[in-house]
Amino acid sequence: QVQVVESGGGLVQSGGSLRLSCAASGSIFSIPVMGWHRQAPGKQRELVASITNGGSSNYADPVKGRFTISRDNAKNTVYLQMNNLKSEDTAVYYCNSDVRLRDDGPTFRYWGQGTQVTVSS
């Protein structure tokens, strides 16, 4: 069993910053990829950023230059530093952990429960 728990959402004014955290725990062999998605009301869930356990990162165009993803492999934790927030960043943010349960096994995607980020203009 794997648990994924997020924290750090909230209400912030336009131009402000927030930092999200997400920790995975349980029977984990490795986590090749961790990432963040978001879903705004009436819209589909979309990728925000992802990072491999080797440190390679990928960002969606709308957040490039404003958001930074990082991770602590020893703690199975991923962070999302969000700067210069805009009203269009308002959404529920979900963490994903793509977990390998054994050395030669496939990866399974686990999701957190989501954390609300609201940016007021």
Q: Give the tens place of pLDDT for each residue, 31-72.
A: 999 999 999 999 999 999 999 999 999 999 999 999 999 999
Quick one: which H or E segment has residue 90? none
Q: Which residues pair with 57 in a beta bridge?
A: 51
Instruction: In whole angstroms, give the CA distance from residue 80 to residue 102.
Output: 27
Q: What local confidence, expressed as pLDDT, does residue 3 receive?
A: 97
CB of 95 closer than 8 Å to CB of 117? no
Q: What is the mean pLDDT of residues 19-25?
A: 98
